[in-house]
Copies of this chain bind each other. A is one copy, B any other.
């Protein structure tokens, strides 16, 4: 049963479901109906049922959804039941902040290497991982079969770096540089454009203050 091409709108909501289900699980809640979840999450019960049914029937009529089961299923869908190796390219504050998220480790993301072009950082450690010269990146990625590269470098360097990464067989790039990367279709890219996000905030402040301009 090939149930592919699920819209990115649906995918974008899965981590949020996952977050709420994790909270419920921790509180010891065993079962939940789409209506109850709807009240907590402020989305329609209909959307919740539609979203889950993209992946098969996780619920039971008259009962609702088993929280733990649903949580586990979503973690499988998201692929965070498996381990993913990851390197950080750019060991500045942002790179260090990301390396430091203990939650990522819990979700199966294993931090394997860090690279920078600043010689002062060579040999310093981020969570037991040594910062290496960026020239050693290609060999390291190939040798260790790294899946994900986190790009926390300035935008000028990001495009050529992405190109190099593709050459070493990387599977995915988590891009924090303020630039769009142009990579082949088989490479997954997820952008975090912080400046775009801040501009949206600015727009909304502005609009709220001057509603008819």
Binding site for B on A (CB under 8 A): 1-4, 8, 11-12, 14-16, 18-19, 77-80, 82, 84, 92-94, 96-98, 100-101, 103-104, 107-109, 147-148, 171-172, 174, 178-180, 186, 188, 190, 192-208, 211-212
Contacts and interface: CB of A to CB of B under 8 A. Distances in A.
Given A4-B211, A19-B196, 5 more contacts: A2-B212, A79-B205, A104-B195, A148-B205, A190-B197
B172 A80 contact: no
Nearest to A179: B19
A213 to B, nearest CB: 9
B201 A80 contact: no
Contacts of A79: 202-203, 205-207
Contact of A78 (B8, B18, B202): B202
Contacts of A3: 212
A103 B197 contact: no
How many copies, total?
2
Nearest to A210: B79
A171 B203 CA distance: 12
A106 to B, nearest CB: 10
A15 B212 contact: no
A94 B2 CA distance: 41
Contacts of A100: 92-93
A8 to B, nearest CB: 8
A202 B107 CA distance: 10
Given A92-B97, A174-B197, A211-B4, A205 B147 contact: yes
